[in-house]
Each structure stands twice: as C-alpha cells, then as structure tokens.
Structure 1
Amino acid sequence: MFFKKILKTNFSLFLNVVSVFLPKKKAVILLYHSIDRNDVYLTIRPEIFEKQMCYLKENKYLVISLKELVENIKTKKEIQPKTVILTFDDGFLSHYEKVWPILKKNNFPATFFISTGLVGSKINNSQNMPQPTANWEQIIEISQSSLIDIEPHSVNHYELDKLSLAEAENEIVESKNEIERRTGKKCLFFAPPRGKYNKETLNLLKKNNFEAMVIVKEGLVRTNDDLFFLKRKTINSSCSNHIQFRAKLVF
C-alpha cells in the first residue's frame, strides 16, 4: 500500500511536469459512452463522471462546444490553453438522466451523437448488453438548451465501411434529416458508429454539407487539423482512477 501511494504521487508529479513543458495550442475532445452503475469497459459510474466534471471546473479548464472548436479551426484562431470538448455517443438514456443535469449544473456545453433508428429503444454497450436509449421527447428537451448540440451517429448504428454506397448514404442522410426535423436545428457534425469509415464516407459527408467528423482515435486537436479527422480521447472504466483521467488531459 505504501509503495502504491508513492507510485501514485510520483506519477501525479510527472503529469504536472509534463503538462508544463508540452505545447499548449491544442484541444482535447473527450468521448464518453454510457454513464451507469456497472463495470462495463466503456461505462463510467455517475459519481465518477460528476467528479471528473468538477475537476474540469475547479482546475479552470476551458470547456467549449464542438461547434466553437470547428469554427476556430476554420478561421485559424489560436486554441486557448486547457481547452476541452465533451462528446457523448449512442444516445443512452443515462445521457438524459445523469449527464444532462451535471452539464447544466456546471454550465458545460456538449455534443450528443445519436442513432435515430434506436431512439426510445435499446442499443448494445461495449459488451453487447442492451441498454435503454433516450426517447425523442427527452432529446428534444435537451436540444432546446444553448449548451447542447444533437448530431447524427447514423440511423441503425451500422459500421459504414461495410455497407454499400447507397446504404451508407441513407444512414448518413436519414439520421441528419430526422434530427433536423425533430429539433429544428441544423446538423453539422458526424460520428461514424464504432469509428468505422472509409473514403466514400468522407465524400458522402462533404456532399451532404457536413462540416466535420469526429473519430475514435486517441490524440489532440490542433488548429491545422483536418476537420474530417478530429481525434477523440475515450473515457473508459480505467479512467475511474483520478490519475488516469488526468492523463487524458495532458496537452
């Protein structure tokens, strides 16, 4: 126990030192999935999620919307130190019941990527266990807040690189149209299910007036990055450890 405590202290000190010397003109996009009380790999417990948001608040991280980040990249505006963007995939019911109240409390903007064909139904988590999703009434409610953007994650959560061109376009266009019709707001960004995409996916997004795509690949975002390859750092159950979460925030 003593050596474990020493190791944690030293690693925490290492993170502080590293964060001082690394270049600061970068942003980190965090990717969350389910927020629930289980030990599934891509799930974070509600109390841990709240502690993580409190950490961002107390340590003066600049939490901005994905929309603001994209605009900064388009205009070559300098990214401010400690910039963080919050994204949530799959439209779980827990996003409405547990995430939304915490975001509202901290005045944090966020983007939710939903699969429109699975709204008010169930979607499998990372261990193929079905979890409930938010319904349209709940989605529309949070979409009315200036803090929240609802964006497409396809219709059926299929891996787009395994579909025909026509099928992939339908997944992209129909999810976009449905969200815009329901919320009255324009969709600008896309998150491919399970991070799977190909060259045709990119062409379809550009053809249908999307401005950016976020992917499932660890890394930071710089002002000269390609808007259709915006990296995200996945927050999984290992990040329940405070040090592991802090490591995701090293710029």
Structure 2
Amino acid sequence: MPIKKVNRFFSSEFTATNRALAAAAFSVLALLLAGCQTPPVQSNQSNIVQQAIPPSPTDQENDSSMVEEPSSLDPVRWWDQGKQSPIRELVIETPEQLAARVPKRADPKIVILMYHNIVFGRTGGEYNRDLYNFDHDLVFLRNRSQIIGIDDLPYIKSGEKKLDTDASILTFDDGDLSIYAIVFPLLKKYDIKATFFIITDFVGTVGYVNWEQLKEISDYRNARGEKLFSIGSHSLDHKRFDGIPAEQIPHELTESKFIIEKKIGSPVWYFALPFGAGAGRKEIIDTARNAGYRGIRSSRKGVVHPGSIDLYNLPAFYMSNERADILAQQIYSLLGR
C-alpha cells in the first residue's frame, strides 16, 4: 500500500493528546522521583470519545511532508506538525459512530500487536516505541479495525461473538513503568482494551510497575462498567523456555500465574512466551492448559483467522520503534488489504 494512501487513514484524532505530553512527562518524572508510590488521581470516564476534526484529505495529499522520505527527516517524529492543519475544535463521537467508520469485511482477520515500552521523544532502542508514533498507531487501528480484548478470542472461536470487520488486540510485554504512567491513562481516555504481560520477578524493581499499580490497572472499569484491561503472565524471570530444563517450565507457568492472581485479586488467563521460544510445543501447551490458562501468545508473525483460532499458539505483530506509517503498511499487508 502506498505511503500516500496509508496516510489518509491517519487523522488528527489523537493529536489533541500532544498538548498534554509535556504535562505527562512531568508526571512520569514525578512518579520516578517519588519511587512510583503515588498513583495519579483516577478521573471518571465517559462512554464518549473526544476527537479532533482532522485536516481534509485534500490538505493531506497536497502536503509533501506526508509523502517524502528524505534521510534528513527525523526517523521518529517525521511528521512536520507545523505544516498540518491546526486542530479547530473537538467533536463528540459515540462508540457506535466510531464503529461505523471501520470498513466491513467478508473475511475479517485479527492482528495481535506486541508492544514493550512507550517513551517520550526519540526511542534509542527497538523495544521503545515513542508516544508520538504510538498516538498515530491508535488512530490507524481505530480507523481501520475494531479494537477488542484478548479475552474475546474464545467467544469468537466458539461463534458466540461475530466479527464483520478486521480486529486488533493490544498487548504489552514485561511490565515497564510506562504501562502505568503513559499507556494506562491514554487507553482509559479513549476506552481501548489491552492486556499487559508481566514478569513477576521484575515487579517493583527500578523501571517497572509495582503491584499496587497493576491492581489499579486490573480493577479499572469504564463508565459502562466494562473491564478494559487484563493482566497476563510473561513468566517468573523471562528465561527462554528452550534454554531451561524441561522440568522447570511447569514452575514458571504455574507459579507466575499464582503470584499475579494473589497480588491483584483477578484471574490470569493468558501467557506470553519469553522471546516467543517454545511456541507450539505440546508439553508447554499441555502444562499451560492444566494450569488454567486459556491461551498462549507467541512472537510468531501472523494474523488470527476467526474460523481457525489456535488459542495456545497465537501469533503477533511486533511493534518496534519504526515509523507509524511504515508499520501501518506492514499490518495492512499482513491482513491482505
């Protein structure tokens, strides 16, 4: 898909949040200085979504900054905000109106996105996705798919839940502090579901969330009383399952699940394989099923087909620090669109 075409899928919907980035940066700094002990005040959420009126398609197509790719451009913040139409006003859009904008598909598919850390400014590493591009990821996903939860997959598999559009699932690995300081507030604001896969031995250490923050994330309900976020296991200590003794794997699966459930008071249904190692191995699948897991997310690149969901070998698409428009093209290609 040409870059020019993909960029029409992006709007200024989420750029209103850019005004708050500086304030959010100070919030993150304050959390770090305070030892991450004081969570931000949780505001009541509405079942409406605020979005900025985007620039017109004509303006975007005539804007050379949206299609050129000279090496001199910043590889992270390559959109020149000064050349784009300013945000004129905010409009209110209901979830039903949002859904009406998503293209209907005769052959809907599901893509599971695998994020790690969300950061401010330039990333400095492939696992660190900057907030500016993450903002644009959400615009693309909301415009071209319905964002569902990983907990919806068993119901889609059984036929209880039907899809008539492509769908996307957001997952975040490791439990970096950014999931609480950056991702959690943003997804609450836009009423977007996600699953956070946690390494239990890392919880409460420098740069990672603590149990109180994880419980707050897990307990959150939106204005309709819906649970948006689930916590999954990413093992005890993030060792590769193809690099440890086979007899240690059951302990990694069962003990990490037990610890998380005890700390947050909610069930843990999904496991993300560290480094994706061991995907599809029968002994791992059998152990996970016996431990009470409903599914395993791997790092294998691919999409989920509603008619043939393998819950214990779920593929994913890795969201690196690449530009949002390039990843959008790759996702669209993966979906066959």
TM class by smaller structure: 0.7 to 0.9
**Is 1:159–1:194's contact at 8 Å kept on the other side of the alignment?**
yes
Please tell me the residue identity of whatever aligns with 2:201.
Answer: G
Q: Percent identity?
A: 30
TM-score scaled by length of structure 2: 0.63
Which amino acid is 2:156 matched to?
A: N
Contact 1:235–1:245 (CA under 8 A) maintained in structure 2: no
**Structure 2 residue 138 is the aligned partner of structure 1 residue 53:** yes
Partners of 1:51 and 1:101 lie apart in 2 by 16
Query: Does the CA contact (< 8 Å) of 2:296 and 2:311 recur in 1?
Result: yes
**Superposition map of 1:131-146 within 5 A:** 132-145=207-220, 146=227
Is 2:148 the partner of 1:64?
Answer: yes
User: How is 1:97-176 mapped onto 2 (pairs within 5 angstroms)?
Assistant: 97-122=181-206, 132-145=207-220, 146-176=227-257
Q: Distance in 2 between matches of 1:101 and 1:148?
A: 12
Residue 208 of structure 2 corresponds to residue 208 of structure 1: no
Residue among 105, 112, 115 paired with 1:32: 115
CA distance in 1, matches of 2:201, 2:164: 37
Q: Give how far 1:78 is off.
A: 3.6
Task: Tell whether the 8 Å contact from 2:3 to 2:325 is kept in structure 1 after alignment.
Answer: no
What is aligned with 2:274?
Answer: 193
Alignment of 1:61-100 (within 5 A): 61-75=145-159, 77-100=161-184
Asked if structure 2 preserves the Cα contact closer than 8 Å seen for 1:96 and 1:134, the reply is: yes
**Greater radius of gyration (CA):** 2
Q: Which amino acid aligns with 2:215?
A: I
**For 1:42 and 1:181, how far apart are their aligned partners in 2?**
29
Contact 2:199 2:237 in 1 (8 A): yes
In 1, the alpha carbon distance for the partners of 2:332 and 2:174 equals 23
Write out per-residue CA displacement over residues 46-99 of structure 1, whole angstroms, 9 at most, x where no aligned residue. Answer: 121122213333x16211110012321134744331211111111110111111
Structure 1: 4+ residue segments shifted above 4 A = 10-13, 20-23
Is residue 211–residue 264 contact of structure 2 (8 Å, CA) maintained in 1? Answer: no
1:186 is displaced (CA, Å) by 1.2
Q: Structure 1 residue 22: deviation in Å?
A: 8.3
Query: How well do the aligned residues superpose, as a CA RMSD in angstroms?
Result: 2.3
CA change 1:10–1:86 in 2 (3 A) is closer
State the TM-score, normalized to the length of structure 1: 0.83
Paired AA for residue 203 in structure 1: D
In structure 1, distance between residues paired with 2:158 and 2:199: 27
1:191 & 1:143 partners in 2: Cα distance? 17
Deviation (angstroms), 1:120: 1.4
Q: Is the 8 A contact 1:25 1:78 kept in 2?
A: no
Among 2, 8, 15, which residue is 2:3 paired with? 8
Query: 2:185, 2:332 → 1: CA distance?
Result: 23
Q: Structure 2 CA distance, aligned partners of 1:184 and 1:47?
A: 34
**1:87 aligned partner, one-letter code:** T
